[in-house]
Amino acid sequence: MQMTLRYYGKNFDTVTLQQIRQIPGVKSVITTLYDVPAGMTWTREKIRALKKEVEDAGLTIAGIESVNVHEEIKYGGKDRDRYIDNYITSLENLGKEDIHLVCYNFMPVFDWTRTELARLRPDGSTVLAYTQKAVDDLLPEKMFESIAGDMNGTVMPGWEPERLKKVKELFECYKGVTEEDLFANLKYFLEKIMPVCNEYDIKMAIHPDDPAWSVFGLPRIIINEENILRMMKMVDDPHNGVTFCSGSYGTNLNNDLPHMIRALKGRIHFAHVRNLKFNSPDDFEEAAHLSSDGSFDMYEIVKALYETGFDGPIRPDHGRMIWGEKAMPGYGLYDRALGAAYINGLWEAVEKGSQRK
Ligand SMILES: [Mn+2]
Protein backbone atom coordinates (compact mmCIF):
# COMPACT_ATOMS: atom_id res chain seq x y z
CA MET A 1 0.00 0.00 0.00
CA GLN A 2 0.92 3.58 -0.51
CA MET A 3 0.07 5.95 2.37
CA THR A 4 -1.40 9.26 1.19
CA LEU A 5 -3.25 12.29 2.48
CA ARG A 6 -6.02 14.21 0.79
CA TYR A 7 -5.04 17.71 -0.29
CA TYR A 8 -7.39 20.38 -1.60
CA GLY A 9 -4.92 22.72 -3.25
CA LYS A 10 -3.27 25.86 -1.95
CA ASN A 11 -6.33 28.07 -2.49
CA PHE A 12 -8.63 25.92 -0.38
CA ASP A 13 -6.69 23.82 2.10
CA THR A 14 -5.50 24.99 5.52
CA VAL A 15 -2.92 22.19 5.48
CA THR A 16 0.21 22.68 3.39
CA LEU A 17 2.12 20.21 1.25
CA GLN A 18 5.18 20.92 3.40
CA GLN A 19 3.28 19.73 6.46
CA ILE A 20 1.95 16.67 4.66
CA ARG A 21 5.46 15.72 3.62
CA GLN A 22 6.50 15.44 7.26
CA ILE A 23 3.94 12.75 8.09
CA PRO A 24 5.91 9.49 8.24
CA GLY A 25 5.40 7.35 5.15
CA VAL A 26 3.43 9.89 3.15
CA LYS A 27 5.05 10.43 -0.23
CA SER A 28 1.95 11.21 -2.27
CA VAL A 29 -1.30 13.09 -2.07
CA ILE A 30 -4.79 12.56 -3.36
CA THR A 31 -6.03 15.79 -4.81
CA THR A 32 -8.36 17.42 -7.29
CA LEU A 33 -8.96 20.48 -9.42
CA TYR A 34 -11.34 21.95 -6.92
CA ASP A 35 -12.24 24.93 -9.09
CA VAL A 36 -13.44 22.98 -12.14
CA PRO A 37 -17.22 22.43 -11.83
CA ALA A 38 -18.68 18.98 -12.42
CA GLY A 39 -19.29 18.42 -16.11
CA MET A 40 -16.47 20.68 -17.32
CA THR A 41 -13.33 19.37 -18.97
CA TRP A 42 -10.03 19.11 -17.13
CA THR A 43 -7.37 20.64 -19.36
CA ARG A 44 -3.82 19.32 -19.58
CA GLU A 45 -2.53 22.76 -18.55
CA LYS A 46 -4.49 22.71 -15.31
CA ILE A 47 -3.51 19.14 -14.53
CA ARG A 48 0.13 19.94 -15.23
CA ALA A 49 0.04 22.98 -12.92
CA LEU A 50 -1.45 20.86 -10.13
CA LYS A 51 1.23 18.22 -10.65
CA LYS A 52 3.95 20.84 -10.58
CA GLU A 53 2.65 22.32 -7.32
CA VAL A 54 2.71 18.88 -5.69
CA GLU A 55 6.03 17.77 -7.17
CA ASP A 56 7.76 21.04 -6.24
CA ALA A 57 6.98 20.13 -2.63
CA GLY A 58 8.68 16.75 -3.02
CA LEU A 59 5.48 14.72 -3.29
CA THR A 60 3.61 12.99 -6.11
CA ILE A 61 -0.07 12.69 -7.05
CA ALA A 62 -1.30 9.18 -6.28
CA GLY A 63 -4.76 9.81 -7.67
CA ILE A 64 -7.65 12.19 -8.11
CA GLU A 65 -10.50 12.53 -5.66
CA SER A 66 -12.73 13.33 -7.30
CA VAL A 67 -13.56 13.90 -10.92
CA ASN A 68 -17.19 14.65 -10.15
CA VAL A 69 -19.95 13.20 -12.27
CA HIS A 70 -22.50 15.73 -13.52
CA GLU A 71 -26.04 15.27 -12.20
CA GLU A 72 -27.40 14.85 -15.77
CA ILE A 73 -25.32 11.68 -16.08
CA LYS A 74 -26.70 10.37 -12.81
CA TYR A 75 -30.38 11.01 -13.50
CA GLY A 76 -30.03 10.32 -17.23
CA GLY A 77 -30.81 13.82 -18.55
CA LYS A 78 -31.01 14.71 -22.22
CA ASP A 79 -27.53 16.27 -22.24
CA ARG A 80 -25.78 13.38 -20.55
CA ASP A 81 -23.79 12.35 -23.64
CA ARG A 82 -22.22 15.79 -23.83
CA TYR A 83 -21.17 15.59 -20.18
CA ILE A 84 -19.87 12.05 -20.65
CA ASP A 85 -17.79 13.25 -23.61
CA ASN A 86 -16.31 15.95 -21.36
CA TYR A 87 -15.59 13.32 -18.72
CA ILE A 88 -13.84 11.14 -21.28
CA THR A 89 -11.69 14.09 -22.36
CA SER A 90 -10.80 14.76 -18.71
CA LEU A 91 -9.78 11.12 -18.27
CA GLU A 92 -7.76 11.20 -21.46
CA ASN A 93 -5.92 14.32 -20.28
CA LEU A 94 -5.25 12.75 -16.88
CA GLY A 95 -3.90 9.64 -18.59
CA LYS A 96 -1.63 11.73 -20.79
CA GLU A 97 -0.31 13.40 -17.64
CA ASP A 98 0.42 9.96 -16.18
CA ILE A 99 -2.34 9.91 -13.54
CA HIS A 100 -4.03 6.53 -13.31
CA LEU A 101 -6.50 6.59 -10.43
CA VAL A 102 -9.82 8.43 -10.30
CA CYS A 103 -12.23 8.35 -7.37
CA TYR A 104 -15.81 9.44 -8.05
CA ASN A 105 -19.26 8.90 -6.63
CA PHE A 106 -22.74 8.40 -8.01
CA MET A 107 -24.80 9.95 -5.22
CA PRO A 108 -27.79 12.03 -6.34
CA VAL A 109 -27.84 15.70 -5.27
CA PHE A 110 -26.07 15.37 -1.93
CA ASP A 111 -22.55 14.22 -1.49
CA TRP A 112 -21.75 12.72 1.94
CA THR A 113 -24.28 13.86 4.52
CA ARG A 114 -23.73 14.77 8.16
CA THR A 115 -26.10 16.54 10.52
CA GLU A 116 -23.41 18.04 12.77
CA LEU A 117 -19.92 19.18 11.87
CA ALA A 118 -18.65 19.80 15.40
CA ARG A 119 -20.16 17.37 17.88
CA LEU A 120 -18.25 17.45 21.15
CA ARG A 121 -16.70 14.16 22.23
CA PRO A 122 -15.79 13.26 25.86
CA ASP A 123 -12.11 14.09 25.26
CA GLY A 124 -12.94 17.65 24.14
CA SER A 125 -12.35 17.02 20.43
CA THR A 126 -15.10 17.81 17.92
CA VAL A 127 -16.22 15.55 15.11
CA LEU A 128 -18.69 15.17 12.27
CA ALA A 129 -21.80 13.28 13.30
CA TYR A 130 -25.06 11.97 11.86
CA THR A 131 -28.40 11.36 13.41
CA GLN A 132 -31.28 10.14 11.28
CA LYS A 133 -33.82 12.06 13.33
CA ALA A 134 -32.24 15.38 12.36
CA VAL A 135 -32.50 14.45 8.68
CA ASP A 136 -36.11 13.34 9.05
CA ASP A 137 -36.96 16.71 10.63
CA LEU A 138 -35.22 18.79 7.96
CA LEU A 139 -36.17 20.01 4.50
CA PRO A 140 -33.44 19.17 1.95
CA GLU A 141 -32.76 22.81 1.09
CA LYS A 142 -32.22 23.54 4.79
CA MET A 143 -29.60 20.82 4.90
CA PHE A 144 -27.30 22.93 2.76
CA GLU A 145 -27.81 25.96 4.97
CA SER A 146 -27.09 24.10 8.17
CA ILE A 147 -23.93 22.54 6.74
CA ALA A 148 -22.73 25.76 5.11
CA GLY A 149 -23.07 27.74 8.33
CA ASP A 150 -20.68 25.51 10.23
CA MET A 151 -17.61 25.07 8.05
CA ASN A 152 -15.03 27.16 9.92
CA GLY A 153 -15.07 29.59 7.02
CA THR A 154 -14.05 26.89 4.52
CA VAL A 155 -15.90 25.56 1.48
CA MET A 156 -16.52 21.88 1.86
CA PRO A 157 -16.24 19.53 -1.10
CA GLY A 158 -19.66 18.40 -2.22
CA TRP A 159 -21.29 21.33 -0.44
CA GLU A 160 -20.24 24.17 -2.69
CA PRO A 161 -22.56 27.23 -2.42
CA GLU A 162 -23.49 27.17 -6.13
CA ARG A 163 -25.09 23.75 -5.61
CA LEU A 164 -27.16 25.12 -2.76
CA LYS A 165 -29.21 27.30 -5.06
CA LYS A 166 -30.17 24.38 -7.24
CA VAL A 167 -31.39 21.89 -4.64
CA LYS A 168 -35.11 22.23 -5.37
CA GLU A 169 -34.52 22.09 -9.11
CA LEU A 170 -32.40 18.97 -8.73
CA PHE A 171 -34.99 17.21 -6.65
CA GLU A 172 -37.41 17.73 -9.54
CA CYS A 173 -34.94 16.08 -11.93
CA TYR A 174 -34.78 12.99 -9.73
CA LYS A 175 -38.56 12.61 -9.47
CA GLY A 176 -39.39 9.07 -10.54
CA VAL A 177 -35.73 8.00 -10.80
CA THR A 178 -35.55 4.59 -9.11
CA GLU A 179 -32.58 2.60 -7.89
CA GLU A 180 -32.88 0.48 -11.05
CA ASP A 181 -32.68 3.64 -13.17
CA LEU A 182 -29.59 4.72 -11.26
CA PHE A 183 -27.96 1.33 -11.88
CA ALA A 184 -28.80 1.63 -15.58
CA ASN A 185 -27.41 5.19 -15.76
CA LEU A 186 -24.22 4.11 -14.01
CA LYS A 187 -23.83 1.19 -16.43
CA TYR A 188 -24.35 3.52 -19.39
CA PHE A 189 -21.68 5.89 -18.04
CA LEU A 190 -19.17 3.13 -17.27
CA GLU A 191 -19.55 1.45 -20.65
CA LYS A 192 -18.82 4.77 -22.34
CA ILE A 193 -15.71 5.53 -20.29
CA MET A 194 -14.13 2.05 -20.11
CA PRO A 195 -12.37 2.31 -23.51
CA VAL A 196 -10.44 5.44 -22.46
CA CYS A 197 -9.70 3.85 -19.06
CA ASN A 198 -8.25 0.84 -20.82
CA GLU A 199 -6.24 2.91 -23.25
CA TYR A 200 -4.60 4.95 -20.47
CA ASP A 201 -4.81 2.36 -17.68
CA ILE A 202 -7.01 4.55 -15.49
CA LYS A 203 -8.53 2.79 -12.52
CA MET A 204 -11.99 4.11 -11.70
CA ALA A 205 -12.77 3.77 -8.01
CA ILE A 206 -16.37 4.47 -7.05
CA HIS A 207 -16.85 5.89 -3.59
CA PRO A 208 -19.74 4.46 -1.57
CA ASP A 209 -22.77 6.52 -0.69
CA ASP A 210 -22.52 8.07 2.73
CA PRO A 211 -24.56 7.28 4.74
CA ALA A 212 -25.19 3.97 3.01
CA TRP A 213 -28.95 4.39 2.66
CA SER A 214 -31.42 6.65 0.96
CA VAL A 215 -31.65 10.20 2.33
CA PHE A 216 -34.53 12.57 1.60
CA GLY A 217 -36.14 9.87 -0.53
CA LEU A 218 -33.38 9.99 -3.16
CA PRO A 219 -32.22 6.65 -4.59
CA ARG A 220 -28.81 5.39 -3.48
CA ILE A 221 -27.15 2.22 -4.76
CA ILE A 222 -23.48 1.98 -3.71
CA ILE A 223 -24.38 0.93 -0.21
CA ASN A 224 -23.63 -2.76 0.42
CA GLU A 225 -21.82 -5.88 -0.77
CA GLU A 226 -24.66 -7.14 -2.95
CA ASN A 227 -24.98 -3.87 -4.86
CA ILE A 228 -21.27 -3.25 -5.30
CA LEU A 229 -20.76 -6.78 -6.63
CA ARG A 230 -23.64 -6.22 -9.03
CA MET A 231 -21.94 -3.03 -10.18
CA MET A 232 -18.63 -4.88 -10.72
CA LYS A 233 -20.36 -7.57 -12.77
CA MET A 234 -22.51 -5.30 -14.88
CA VAL A 235 -19.35 -3.77 -16.39
CA ASP A 236 -16.82 -6.50 -15.79
CA ASP A 237 -13.54 -4.72 -16.39
CA PRO A 238 -10.67 -4.46 -13.88
CA HIS A 239 -10.67 -0.69 -14.42
CA ASN A 240 -14.20 -0.60 -13.01
CA GLY A 241 -13.29 -0.72 -9.33
CA VAL A 242 -13.94 0.56 -5.89
CA THR A 243 -12.83 3.04 -3.29
CA PHE A 244 -13.23 1.00 -0.15
CA CYS A 245 -14.27 3.57 2.46
CA SER A 246 -14.69 1.92 5.85
CA GLY A 247 -16.43 4.96 7.31
CA SER A 248 -19.05 5.06 4.54
CA TYR A 249 -19.88 1.36 4.14
CA GLY A 250 -19.58 1.17 7.91
CA THR A 251 -22.51 3.56 8.44
CA ASN A 252 -24.72 0.51 7.94
CA LEU A 253 -23.93 -1.94 10.74
CA ASN A 254 -25.16 -4.81 8.55
CA ASN A 255 -22.09 -4.34 6.34
CA ASP A 256 -19.33 -6.75 7.42
CA LEU A 257 -16.32 -4.65 6.38
CA PRO A 258 -13.53 -7.30 6.33
CA HIS A 259 -15.90 -9.66 4.48
CA MET A 260 -16.64 -6.99 1.87
CA ILE A 261 -12.92 -6.33 1.37
CA ARG A 262 -12.36 -10.04 0.70
CA ALA A 263 -15.34 -10.18 -1.69
CA LEU A 264 -13.88 -7.25 -3.66
CA LYS A 265 -10.39 -8.70 -3.94
CA GLY A 266 -8.52 -7.25 -6.89
CA ARG A 267 -11.09 -4.52 -7.53
CA ILE A 268 -10.26 -2.20 -4.60
CA HIS A 269 -8.14 0.51 -6.18
CA PHE A 270 -8.15 2.98 -3.31
CA ALA A 271 -8.88 2.75 0.41
CA HIS A 272 -10.22 5.26 2.94
CA VAL A 273 -9.70 3.96 6.44
CA ARG A 274 -11.50 5.50 9.38
CA ASN A 275 -13.53 4.57 12.42
CA LEU A 276 -17.04 5.48 13.60
CA LYS A 277 -18.57 5.38 17.06
CA PHE A 278 -22.19 4.27 17.09
CA ASN A 279 -24.50 5.49 19.83
CA SER A 280 -27.45 3.70 18.19
CA PRO A 281 -27.84 2.19 14.69
CA ASP A 282 -28.98 5.57 13.32
CA ASP A 283 -26.77 7.88 15.35
CA PHE A 284 -23.03 7.82 14.85
CA GLU A 285 -20.05 10.14 15.19
CA GLU A 286 -16.58 10.03 13.64
CA ALA A 287 -14.11 8.69 16.19
CA ALA A 288 -10.33 8.64 16.27
CA HIS A 289 -8.87 5.99 13.94
CA LEU A 290 -7.90 3.77 16.90
CA SER A 291 -10.16 0.69 17.20
CA SER A 292 -10.94 1.24 20.88
CA ASP A 293 -12.18 4.78 20.28
CA GLY A 294 -14.97 3.63 17.96
CA SER A 295 -17.06 0.67 16.85
CA PHE A 296 -14.86 -0.95 14.16
CA ASP A 297 -12.00 -3.42 14.45
CA MET A 298 -9.43 -1.48 12.46
CA TYR A 299 -6.89 -4.31 12.73
CA GLU A 300 -9.26 -6.68 10.92
CA ILE A 301 -9.91 -4.06 8.21
CA VAL A 302 -6.20 -3.48 7.55
CA LYS A 303 -5.52 -7.23 7.74
CA ALA A 304 -8.19 -7.94 5.11
CA LEU A 305 -6.66 -5.31 2.81
CA TYR A 306 -3.20 -6.81 3.32
CA GLU A 307 -4.34 -10.40 2.82
CA THR A 308 -6.18 -9.63 -0.41
CA GLY A 309 -2.99 -8.13 -1.84
CA PHE A 310 -4.17 -4.52 -1.81
CA ASP A 311 -1.33 -2.38 -3.17
CA GLY A 312 -3.03 0.91 -4.02
CA PRO A 313 -3.16 4.28 -2.30
CA ILE A 314 -4.69 4.36 1.16
CA ARG A 315 -5.52 7.38 3.25
CA PRO A 316 -6.74 8.21 6.70
CA ASP A 317 -10.16 9.73 6.33
CA HIS A 318 -11.99 12.39 8.28
CA GLY A 319 -10.18 13.28 11.46
CA ARG A 320 -11.36 14.88 14.70
CA MET A 321 -10.64 18.55 15.29
CA ILE A 322 -8.05 18.57 18.06
CA TRP A 323 -5.38 20.75 19.66
CA GLY A 324 -7.20 23.97 18.76
CA GLU A 325 -6.78 23.53 15.02
CA LYS A 326 -9.06 25.55 12.73
CA ALA A 327 -9.60 23.72 9.46
CA MET A 328 -12.19 22.27 7.13
CA PRO A 329 -14.26 19.97 9.38
CA GLY A 330 -12.83 16.45 9.09
CA TYR A 331 -9.77 17.66 7.18
CA GLY A 332 -7.41 19.12 9.74
CA LEU A 333 -3.78 18.08 9.83
CA TYR A 334 -3.35 16.71 13.34
CA ASP A 335 -5.82 13.90 13.67
CA ARG A 336 -5.35 12.71 10.10
CA ALA A 337 -1.60 12.55 10.74
CA LEU A 338 -2.30 10.46 13.84
CA GLY A 339 -4.56 8.27 11.68
CA ALA A 340 -1.84 7.79 9.06
CA ALA A 341 0.70 6.84 11.73
CA TYR A 342 -1.75 4.36 13.26
CA ILE A 343 -2.63 2.72 9.92
CA ASN A 344 1.09 2.51 9.09
CA GLY A 345 1.63 0.74 12.42
CA LEU A 346 -1.19 -1.71 11.82
CA TRP A 347 0.09 -2.46 8.33
CA GLU A 348 3.67 -3.08 9.50
CA ALA A 349 2.43 -5.38 12.28
CA VAL A 350 0.17 -7.38 9.94
CA GLU A 351 2.91 -7.64 7.33
CA LYS A 352 5.65 -8.77 9.70
CA GLY A 353 3.27 -11.06 11.61
CA SER A 354 2.22 -12.86 8.46
CA GLN A 355 5.83 -13.39 7.32
CA ARG A 356 6.74 -15.04 10.61
CA LYS A 357 4.07 -17.74 10.43
MN1 LIG B 1 -14.42 8.12 2.15
> Could you report the per-residue pLDDT of 18-53, keeping only the tens digit for each?
999 999 999 999 999 988 988 999 999 999 999 999
CB under 8 Å to 214, separation ≥6 — which residues?
220
For residue 134, give the H/E element and its range: helix 132-136
Ligand 1 centroid–CA 248 distance in Å is 6
pLDDT band at 247 (very low <50, low <70, confident <90, very high): very high
* Chain segment 165-224, per-residue pLDDT in tens: 778 888 888 999 999 999 999 999 999 999 999 999 999 999 999 888 888 888 999 999
For the entire predicted model, the pTM comes to 0.93
The Cα–Cα gap between 96 and 85 comes to 16
Each residue of 108-130: pLDDT tens digit?
A: 988 778 888 899 999 999 999 98
Contacts of residue 138, defined as CB under 8 A and 6 or more positions apart, other chains included, come to: 115, 146
Residue 171: predicted pLDDT: 86
Per-residue buried b or exposed e for 204-221, using 16+ beta carbons within 10 Å of the residue's own CB? bbbbbbbbbeebbebbbb
Q: What is the CA radius of gyration of the chain?
A: 19
Please check the confidence at residue 65 and state whether its pLDDT lies above 60.
yes
CATH of the domain at 255: 3.20.20.150
**Which is nearest to 319 in space by CA: 348, 293, 347, 282?**
293
Angle at 231 between CA 228 and CA 234, to 5 degrees: 150
Please give the distance, rounded to the nearest whole angstrom, from the Cα atom of residue 272 to the centre of ligand 1.
5
Count: domains in the chain: 1
The residue with greater pLDDT, 329 or 164, is 329
Residue 22's φ and ψ, nearest 5 degrees, are -90, 0
- The residues assigned a catalytic role are 207, 245, 272, 317-318, 331
Q: Which residue range(s) make up the domain with 323?
A: 2-355
263 CA distance to ligand 1 middle (Å) = 19
CA of 245 to the centre of ligand 1 (A): 5
How many angstroms is it from 207 CA to the middle of ligand 1? 7
